[in-house]
């Protein structure tokens, strides 16, 4: 069964460093999303991406964040200068059409 994959599973970085979180969505899906979940809290929307551009972004998704689909298969989330409060689980999700979103297993980002 096709699934969304994410790498790495755990990323530890120093405050101020850049990180890139990687996702491979399900191959025939057209809509892509990043969400984050701070420990013990609910999942929060960050950004949606369709047709090679951002469809919508949340207040969390400030200028330090960017997304890219560089090669038609990968979907990346870049945080330019990480802050302590960026520590969270980051989930990628994809959707084909008017139906369910499939989530990846997540990347745990720890900012020290």
Query: Which residues would be at the binding site for other proteins (CB under 8 A)?
Result: 4, 31, 33, 35, 40-45, 48, 55-56, 91, 93, 95, 99-106
- Do 94 and 13 touch, CB atoms closer than 8 A? no
- Do 46 and 37 touch, CB atoms closer than 8 A? no
Return the number of the residue (4 or 19) whose C-beta is nearest other proteins: 4
Return the number of the residue (4 or 111) whose C-beta is nearest other proteins: 4
Return the number of the residue (19 or 36) whose C-beta is nearest other proteins: 36
- The least CB distance from residue 33 to other proteins, in Å, is 7
Which of 26, 28, 25, 21 shows the shortest CA–CA distance to 87? 21
DSSP-derived 3-state class of residue 2: coil
- The least CB distance from residue 22 to other proteins, in Å, is 15
- The least CB distance from residue 62 to other proteins, in Å, is 17
Q: Which sign, positive or negative, has the C-alpha torsion 27, 102, 3, 40?
A: positive
């Amino acid at each position: 069964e096709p699934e969304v994959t994410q790498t790495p599973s755990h990323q530890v970085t120093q405050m101020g460093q850049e990180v890139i979180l990687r996702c491979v969505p399900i191959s025939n899906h057209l809509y892509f999303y990043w969400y984050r979940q701070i420990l013990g809290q609910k999942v929060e929307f960050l950004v949606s991406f369709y047709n090679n551009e951002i469809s919508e972004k949340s207040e969390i998704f400030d200028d330090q964040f960017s997304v890219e689909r560089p090669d038609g298969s990968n979907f990346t989330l870049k945080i330019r200068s990480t802050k302590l409060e960026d520590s969270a689980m980051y989930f990628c999700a994809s959707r084909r059409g008017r139906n369910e979103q499939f989530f990846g297993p997540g990347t745990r980002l720890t900012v020290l």
